[in-house]
Amino acid sequence: MIEIRNLTKTYGRRRALDGVDLTLGTGVTGLLGPNGAGKTTLLRCLATTLAPDGGSLEAFGLSPSDPVQRTALRRRLGYLPQDPGYYPHFTAFDLVDYVAILKEMTDRTRRHAEVRRVLAEVDLTEQAKTKARKLSGGMRQRLALAQALLGSPDLLILDEPTVGLDPEQRMSFRALVSRLGERHAVVLSTHQTEDVAALCERVIVMRDGRGIFDGTPSELADVAAGQVWLSDSAPVASRMFWRTADRRYRTLGERPPAADATAPGVEDGYLVLLGEAAA
């Protein structure tokens, strides 16, 4: 459905994308990677808001480099950018309606029905008449998602959708996105390994403008197999350890004295992978 081949993008002397190859289908795909890895740049190319320098990108057989096909592609995608702007004095309804007008939904009755539908989908029906500036951060994030859902796009592109949400909001947001993943292709970027474990069928780890891992969350966790340990005292010889909720020490790497082996999680695999990539 989406084919990306050898995609490159350079800002000045900085290679933000350094030959990305990717094929995407339905379901939820997560892009994970440290700051500056190129996630936003890749999502912006996919959302057709940024032109790559080289390589090819095609979604649903449509290429954004062709103006006519680009317009057709835009009709089939919804995009939640990293910093969605909003007009503070608009109500939730008016904001989504405004985007619907920009999306060329000209029939007023049908457009308003669609605005009500997407507001209900993100559980903001009761806030429809509330001004955007009075909404909480989590509600505003859901409002931004609502505009991306207009017209039931085949492809949803979500750039760090869980940023700024509290744990409860994150949980309901994840439930919403995994529900959407049943019907749409969803690509999201995140710094939260819990997001990936909870809702992505596939995870791509990026670093320095390249994909360095492509697999399921449990395959990513397996990268740290045999390298995760729990002990009662702090491991003196290791720098990769942290306190757990049950007041033990979780160590990545060599086995500390008197430590028990434990099953790796997505975060463990991610950290080991980044450590290996940096070595």
Ligand X SMILES: Nc1ncnc2c1ncn2[C@@H]1O[C@H](COP(=O)(O)OP(=O)(O)OP(=O)(O)O)[C@@H](O)[C@H]1O
**Shortest spacing between CB 35 and ligand X, in angstroms:** 4
Residue 117 to residue 156: CA distance in whole angstroms: 17
Q: Which residue number, 5 or 191, has a Cβ lying nearer to ligand X?
A: 191
**Shortest spacing between CB 273 and ligand X, in angstroms:** 15
**Shortest spacing between CB 9 and ligand X, in angstroms:** 8
Place of tokens 């094929």: 23
| Selection from 51, 72, 78 nearest residue 144 by Cα | 78
Tell me which long-range contacts 254-257 makes (C-beta under 8 A, separation of at least 24).
255/229, 256/229, 256/231, 257/231
220 within 8 A of 273, measured Cβ to Cβ:
yes
151 within 8 A of 110, measured Cβ to Cβ:
no
**Shortest spacing between CB 2 and ligand X, in angstroms:** 18
Q: Which residue number, 204 or 224, has a Cβ lying nearer to ligand X?
A: 204
Q: Which residue number, 211 or 253, has a Cβ lying nearer to ligand X?
A: 211
37 within 8 A of 207, measured Cβ to Cβ:
yes
Q: Which residue number, 35 or 109, has a Cβ lying nearer to ligand X?
A: 35
156 within 8 A of 149, measured Cβ to Cβ:
yes
| Selection from 105, 197, 95, 210 nearest residue 153 by Cα | 105
Residue 44 to residue 50: CA distance in whole angstroms: 5
Residue 56 to residue 19: CA distance in whole angstroms: 10
**Shortest spacing between CB 159 and ligand X, in angstroms:** 7
Q: Which residue number, 214 or 222, has a Cβ lying nearer to ligand X?
A: 214
**Shortest spacing between CB 129 and ligand X, in angstroms:** 33
Q: Which residue number, 39 or 184, has a Cβ lying nearer to ligand X?
A: 39
Binding site for ligand X (CB under 6 A): 11, 14, 16, 33, 35-41
- Provide the 8-state DSSP code for 62: B
